[in-house]
Amino acid sequence: MNLALFDLDNTLLTGDSDFEWSQFLIERGVLDRELFEAKSLAFYEQYKAGTLDIREFLDFQLKPLSRHARKVLDQWHEEFMRIKVRPMMGDKARALVKEHLAVGDVCVVITATNSFVTAPIVREFGIEHLIATDPEQRNGEFTGGVAGVPSFREGKVTRMEQWLGERGWGWDSFERSCFYSDSLNDLPLLCKVKRPVAVDPDATLRAHAEQQGWPVISLR
């Protein structure tokens, strides 16, 4: 039995679903462009630089979910998938996922982006399992808070090992394990698998991958 882990944003997708969800809401007039866009861009730059305060970011990013009914959010997400997401789902990424599924690998997307945004995307890739940052819910509606450990940096390792433990597995349960990611933020989890793969990596991850002899591929 083999394990295949995939980051989502800028790995399987040719962009960032979290950022694009914010842009989608701005374009719909749901969020104020002047107030929201600058802060969103600042957080995105911090993420790319590896300096993001995840709790501060989530407080900012999840609040809009709490201001609208879940039914309305779900309707918006369908449009978001059509306009923003599907154009970011490239043929190479789809083929890579199909390759792992075809040989029976246990496939998991593990992402810092919240599960409301990412769950429909992961289903469209045909992947059953998702580990994401979970927005807190009360009576089916979002509160604007976070439930549990955010799936970010070392938190991805924590969440992954919780997920494995719930199934009676550990890292040694798999003959082979791999993780595809673009980001230096994923170094803690990349170092846990037997085959780390840098996908269209940022400069820091590329340098680390080349130093360690990790494969570097492109899905663009």
Please answer whether residues 134 and 115 qualify as being in contact, where contact means their C-beta atoms are separated by less than 8 angstroms. yes
Average pLDDT over residues 185-211: 96
Domain boundaries 2-217, corresponding CATH code: 3.40.50.1000
For the segment 35-77, what is each residue's pLDDT rounded down to a tens digit? 788 888 888 888 888 888 888 888 888 988 999 999 999 999 9
> In this predicted structure, what is the pLDDT of residue 40?
81
Distance CA 201, CA 214 (A): 12
Residue 37 or residue 24, greater confidence: 24
Instruction: Kindly report which listed range (40-49, 85-94, 153-162, 205-214) carries the lowest average pLDDT score.
Output: 40-49
Largest Cα–Cα distance in the chain? 51
Active-site residue (options: 9, 18, 186, 202): 9
Percent of the chain topping pLDDT 70: 100
Phi first, then psi: give them for residue 189, nearest 5 degrees. -80, -35
Residue 54, pLDDT score = 86
> Other CB atoms closer than 10 Å to residue 108's CB: what's the count?
20
Q: What pLDDT shows up at residue 35?
A: 78
Long-range contacts of 39-47 (CB under 8 A, 24+ apart): 44/16, 44/19, 47/183, 47/185
Mean pLDDT of 72-96: 98
Give the 3-state secondary structure of residue 215: coil
7, 18, 186, 202: which one is catalytic? 7
Active site residue 9: yes
pLDDT per position as a tens digit, 133-176: 999 999 999 999 999 999 999 999 999 999 999 999 999 999 99
Contact 140, 149 (CB under 8 A): no
Q: Where are the beta strands (DSSP E) in the chain?
A: 2-6, 106-114, 129-138, 141-147, 176-181, 195-199, 216-217
Active site residue 53: no
Determine how many CB atoms are found less than 10 A away from the CB of residue 162.
12
- pLDDT averaged over every residue in the chain: 95
Sign, CA torsion 150/154/156/162? negative
Alpha-carbon gap, residue 102 to 123, rounded angstroms? 16
pLDDT at 88 over 90: yes
Closest to 58 measured CA to CA, from 166, 129, 156, 144: 144
Query: What is the mean pLDDT of the segment spanning 108-126?
Result: 98
Domain ranges of the chain: 2-217
What's the pLDDT score for residue 67?
93
